């Protein structure tokens, strides 16, 4: 009889504990051990970016610095269309917030047509500055042909990649409805004409299509740019 009473009491304690755990506002239990953080599309594509798109090496966008399969330190991924502009457009608090609430942001952030390798300190200097022409050709980064006008918040990339940059910006504008101001759009159209797609850019377009299923139409058909309105 005593054993039966003890069993009944233990049952009641267990039932009350379960009810408390499931009550509204109660703190959920955290499983012990390794808790996996959900992967984002960007981090998935980042692995493909280095292993497949630049698996044999390549060169950095702004400085033309060559790197091999093991890129080493000092090189990271640049978003041509800055993510801070996208965050403002989508009214997110920050990038983490956008990742958690906006499937659209995750698509935008991960799109490899907007991603290029860059020297990390040049990428940081570019930040969210718009592209433009900087008077006087000031060289602040040694032999790297990359100029900054800090007062006007502009950066001027080397001539050899201005068309690549323009077509990436046009792609983001047309694919995701991201705004380009008319002055910026006009300059990018000029860069597009002066630096048309070359074999390297077309090859990159082919690989990206195989990896994510989308092409940049402004590389395939440069004449489409004349239809863009900003």
11-25, 65-79, 175-189: least confidently modelled range: 11-25
Distance CA 215, CA 112 (A): 10
Q: Are 110 and 45 in contact (CB under 8 A)?
A: yes
Q: Give Cα 139 distance to the centre of its chain.
A: 27
pLDDT at 23: 35
Q: Rounded to the nearest 10 degrees, how much is the dihedral formed by the CA atoms of 63, 75, 125, 159?
A: 20
Distance CA 48, CA 167 (A): 21
pLDDT at 39: 65
- pLDDT band at residue 209 under the 50/70/90 scheme: very high
Mean pLDDT of 29-51: 67
Whether residue 32 is predicted with pLDDT greater than 90 in this model: the reply is no
pLDDT at 65: 96
Structural tokens at position 217: 């139409």
Q: How does pLDDT run across 128-162, given as a tens digit for each residue?
A: 999 999 988 777 898 999 999 999 999 999 999 99
Mean pLDDT for the chain? 86
Helix axes of 103-110 and 162-176: crossing angle, nearest 10 degrees:
160
DSSP single-letter state for residue 34? -
User: What is 92-108 written as a DSSP string?
Assistant: -SSHHHHHHH-HHHHHH
pTM for the model stands at 0.82
pLDDT at 204: 99
Q: How does pLDDT run across 41-82, given as a tens digit for each residue?
A: 999 999 999 999 999 999 999 999 999 998 878 999 999 999
């Amino acid at each position: 009889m005593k054993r039966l009473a003890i069993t009944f009491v233990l049952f009641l304690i267990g039932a009350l504990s379960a009810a408390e755990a499931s009550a509204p506002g109660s703190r959920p239990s955290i499983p012990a051990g390794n808790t996996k953080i959900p992967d984002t599309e960007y981090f998935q594509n980042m692995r493909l970016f280095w292993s497949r798109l630049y698996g044999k090496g390549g060169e950095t966008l702004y400085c033309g610095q060559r790197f091999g399969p093991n890129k080493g330190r000092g090189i990271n991924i640049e978003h041509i269309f800055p993510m801070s502009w996208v965050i403002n457009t989508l009214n997110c608090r920050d990038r983490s917030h956008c990742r958690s609430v906006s499937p659209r942001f995750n698509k935008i952030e991960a799109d490899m047509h907007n991603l290029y390798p860059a020297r990390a300190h040049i990428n940081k200097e570019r930040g969210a500055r718009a592209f433009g022409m900087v008077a006087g050709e000031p060289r602040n980064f040694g032999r790297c042909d990359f100029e900054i006008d800090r007062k006007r918040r502009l950066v001027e990339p080397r001539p050899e990649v201005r068309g690549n940059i323009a077509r990436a910006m046009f792609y983001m504008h047309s694919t995701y409805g991201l705004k380009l101001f008319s002055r910026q759009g006009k300059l990018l159209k000029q860069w597009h004409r002066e630096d048309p797609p070359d074999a390297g850019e077309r090859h990159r377009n082919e690989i990206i299509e195989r990896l994510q299923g989308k092409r940049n139409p402004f590389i395939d058909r440069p004449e489409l740019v004349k239809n863009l309105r900003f």
